[in-house]
């Protein structure tokens, strides 16, 4: 499943603070496009990882996160 999120992650330091948490998601590849106006987070993950889980993970770390694809 591919997810695309609008986030409030603005800097490489923000990405590095999230990296250990995103890396724990099983069989998941992810990347940020900080050059995009929506600071896009793209995640390619098996179906066991939900958009809600990813949103909660970012929100728990103090970032806004909104699913752009449903």
Q: How far apart are CA 51 and CA 44, in angstroms?
A: 11
pLDDT per residue as tens digits for the range 4-57: 999 999 999 999 999 999 999 999 999 999 999 999 999 998 877 899 999 999
Q: Which two tokens stand for residue 49?
A: 């990882």
Tell me the whole-structure pTM to 2 decimals.
0.93
Is the pLDDT at 69 greater than 90? The verdict is: no
* Domains of the chain by start residue, with CATH: 2-67 (3.30.70.100)
On whether the CB atoms of residues 28 and 61 are closer than 8 A, the answer is: no
On whether the CB atoms of residues 22 and 63 are closer than 8 A, the answer is: no
CB neighbour list of residue 25: distance below 8 Å, 6 or more residues apart: 43, 45, 49, 53, 54
């Amino acid at each position: 499943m591919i997810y695309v999120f609008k986030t409030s992650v603005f800097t490489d330091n923000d990405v590095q603070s999230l990296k250990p948490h995103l890396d724990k998601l099983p069989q998941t590849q992810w990347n940020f496009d900080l050059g995009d106006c929506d600071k896009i987070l793209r995640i390619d993950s098996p179906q066991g990882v939900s958009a809600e889980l990813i949103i909660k993970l970012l929100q728990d770390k103090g970032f806004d996160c909104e699913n752009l694809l449903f």
